[in-house]
Amino acid sequence: MIRRLGLVCWLFLAFAVTVEGQSPGAAQPPDAPVPSSQVTPEQKPVVFHTQVFWPMVGVCAGSIIADVQTSYNVEQRSPKGSELNSWLFGRRPSRARYYVTNAAIDGTEAFISYKLLHSRRKFFRVAGWTLLAGQIAGHVSGAIYNARQ
């Protein structure tokens, strides 16, 4: 009984809304917006420093190579190394697995950095440069740490 009453209420409500929307005295839709006579200032184009970005990507690739080579060499010298059971590289990773994993992760980060550097907002451009510099710093510090072992 309560279900039927609820169904009747919903149908009545749907019917009332439909009839109200079709009544001839309904309010007309608003007029289309009129273009304003005020002139908006031209936005400056975003300056993308290709002479800085691509060499930084090259330095990042070099730091990845140094990190991978030293990580693999440390793994071969000491079988109880920290990256033998890494969740990222797997168990007993090969040199190719190091390269493929790092290329996928750092390639994605470089692409994100590239997109952030084309933003009109300064915060996002700074985040793009920071992301790229953080990649380089992480791999260089990893290579230095591995070389000292």
Residues 86-111 pLDDT 10s: 788 887 788 999 999 999 999 999 99
How far is it, in rounded angstroms, from Cα 100 to Cα 117?
25
pLDDT at 82 over 90: no
Which tokens in the block code for residue 118? Answer: 């084309």
Q: Are strands 90-91 and 85-86 parallel, antiparallel or unpaired?
A: antiparallel
Within a 10 A sphere around the Cβ of 134, how many other Cβ atoms? 13
Helices 95-117, 50-77: axis angle to 10 degrees equals 160
Strand partners, 90: 86
Share of the chain above pLDDT 90, in %: 45
Which tokens in the block code for residue 84? Answer: 């033998």
Model-level pTM? 0.66
Q: Which residues, including other chains, have CB under 8 Å from residue 147's CB and lie 6 or more apart?
A: 70
Q: Is 91 helix (H, G, I), strand (E, B) or coil?
A: strand
Name the pLDDT band for 58 (thresholds 50, 70, 90).
Answer: very high
* Residue length of the chain: 149
Q: What pLDDT score was predicted for residue 105?
A: 94
